[in-house]
Amino acid sequence: MGYYPSYNYKDQKPTDINFSLYTNALFFVAVPKHNFTLNFGDLKNEIAERLMFDFVKQAKEANVTTCLSVGGWTGSQHLSFLTSIPENRFIVIMLSARPQQREFLPKRLLNRLKDRLILASCRSHSTM
């Protein structure tokens, strides 16, 4: 397993990663906000979305399972609140959807699982 620190995208693009060396790869990091949206640190959301798309595309071509790191370190500030009630248990999936797409969540969930993009809260100290 390895992880891709998205904040380092100027020095290493997803296309620079040799995914054949991995079975699992973690995209680091999405930070959940109190209003069910995501922030990507200093990255603009448009850049982060493009990086994630390229990351998953490259990984899938190498048959590598991907994971999105949600929270961790100080980025977990709102995660407990967001998952504190049963209705919010799918929060890691909901966070990946834009507000206008949330009404299609069950279909999106199935598509995400089918495409092997597993969204989870995880930590890793490995590096790619």
CATH number at residue 7: 3.20.20.80
In a domain, 127, yes or no: no
Q: Residue 16 sits in which domain range?
A: 2-120
In a domain, 88, yes or no: yes
Higher per-residue confidence, 42 vs 61: 61
> What's the whole-model pTM score?
0.64
In a domain, 75, yes or no: yes
Q: How many residues does the structure list for the chain?
A: 128
Q: Which residues contact 71 (CB under 8 A, 6 or more apart)?
A: 29, 30, 31, 32, 79, 121
Count of domains for the chain: 1
Q: What average pLDDT score do residues 2-9 get?
A: 91
| pLDDT the model gives residue 15 | 94
The torsion angles phi and psi of 99, rounded to 5 degrees, stand at: -50, -45
In a domain, 97, yes or no: yes
Judge residue 32's burial from the number of C-beta atoms within 10 Å of its C-beta, 0-12 exposed, 13-18 middle, 19 or more buried.
Answer: buried
In a domain, 91, yes or no: yes
Q: What average pLDDT score do residues 27-53 get?
A: 83
pLDDT of 72-92, one tens digit each?
Answer: 667 777 777 777 776 665 555
Tokens of 10: 């100027």
In a domain, 126, yes or no: no
In a domain, 36, yes or no: yes
Tokens of 117: 């993009």
Range ranked top by mean pLDDT from 52-56, 87-91, 124-128: 52-56
